[in-house]
Amino acid sequence: MLRGLAARPTSRGWQALAAGAAVLVVARLIGTTQFHQLAYLFLLLAVAALALGVAGYRGLAFERRLPEETRVVAGRPAGVELVVSNRSRLLWTSRLEVEDVLSRRERTALPPVAPGQRRKARVSATFPRRGVYRLGPAAVRGTDPFGLLVFSRSFREGDEIVVYPEVHRLRGFPVRGGEAQAGSRGSRGRRGEEFAGLREYQHGDDRRHIHWKSLARTGELFVKEFALHAPRIYTVVLDLRRGGFRSLEAAVEDAVSAAASVLAHLREEGLGFRLLCTDKTGSGAGPGEDERSYWEAMRVLAEVRADGDTELDEALLEEDPTSLGDGVILVCRHEEEGLQACVRRLRAAGTAVVAVLVAEHTYRGGASLAGREARFARFAAGLAAAGAQVLAVRHPESVAGLGARRAGGMA
């Protein structure tokens, strides 16, 4: 039998074999030539069915066509096209059943395929969570022209598909393009400084932008002012530290979705971005600003796991301050004690900070929810007092509610 091709009798085939065996027994008992001929006819019919089936199904080819124009996102249906081609020059196939492993095992029927032709079936597959999926193996089944045998042709070749985290539109997110205050780090362009003029120094301006020649000449502090349209860059830092207990999968997925949504928001606003994760391998991407850089970062988010040991403040301390860009957006799942001091250091250096807090206690529930909520509100208030703009992701609103309200009920 051809490799990858298997055959078994259908119910009609079993009946034909049983009838042939019965006729052969009768022929042996009574010695009638006609009964012998009839028994051999049944045997010949089975052999012909096998030969025609092998000749026909060895010419089948299978192709799985994945979505090209759109990326596959967790929880949203994606169309996958299954194509069966008949490379035989003479034989038609019977009606076919195509079975493939996508997000789950899928079966679909196809009409007979003429010689040299092909048939297509479009299957809607919904992948429940982000990640890299291995599709297949696939199998194509059909019968011989007599309906005595069912043939199954297996195709072991698989495809890899990346399922990206869900992205939500952040209408109320506090970071916008072209809104930097002159003289701050947020007004500095990514591709060199676009000098626009000088103005008097104001409290909070970045000291690195002080115009020292004017100070020596006039004795007054002036800072360089840059074009407001000059693009900025933000570093998105995702907390993927494992918890004391097994991390809540829903909370982790919402944290990843929040980071993905922030990246999408930055791209829409014309801002540069960089991704830094605190997982075990210290995954990251960027800096960048174009479509390719965005999808590279999204590929990282599709695969990361909450298996790290590093806290957010430790991860930021390990980074060169100049590599963080003009602002830092923290996506935090844990109430870390050292994060307030870290925010103060960033703000003192003129770096804008936005803290997106995933309220894990809302995913757990339980009788102690009120106490956990009070502790979470104190943590959020401490970050706000340190200079961060604080927002919260809560269950069940998830990331869809991000920006609609601030953490701890703050306006």
Q: Which of 148, 155, 138, 147 is nearest to 95 (CA)?
A: 147
pLDDT value at residue 325: 86
Name the nearest CA neighbour of 270 among 289, 296, 294. Answer: 289
Give the DSSP H/E element, type plus range, for residue 353. strand 352-358
**For residues 182 and 202, what is the distance between their CA atoms, to the nearest angstrom?**
10
**Which of 130, 198, 115, 141 shows the shortest CA–CA distance to 166?**
130
The pLDDT of residue 188 is 39
pLDDT tens track, the chain, 411 positions: 567 899 999 999 999 889 888 888 888 888 778 888 888 898 899 999 999 999 999 999 999 998 877 789 998 999 999 999 999 988 999 999 999 999 999 999 999 999 999 999 999 999 989 999 999 999 999 999 999 999 999 999 889 999 999 999 988 888 887 544 333 444 333 334 455 556 777 776 777 677 776 766 777 777 766 554 445 899 999 999 987 555 588 899 999 999 999 999 999 988 999 999 999 999 999 899 889 999 999 999 999 999 999 999 999 888 887 788 889 999 999 988 899 999 999 998 889 999 999 998 888 766 567 788 899 999 999 999 999 999 999 888 888 887 554 444 433
- For residues 290 and 283, what is the distance between their CA atoms, to the nearest angstrom? 19
| Residues belonging to the chain | 411
CA distance 51 to 49: 6
Place of tokens 């604080």: 390
Tens-digit pLDDT profile for residues 293-318: 999 999 999 999 999 999 999 998 88
Give CA angle at 250 (248, 251), nearest 5°: 65
Q: Is the dihedral of CA 368, 370, 371, 376 positive or negative?
A: positive
pLDDT at position 224, please? Answer: 67
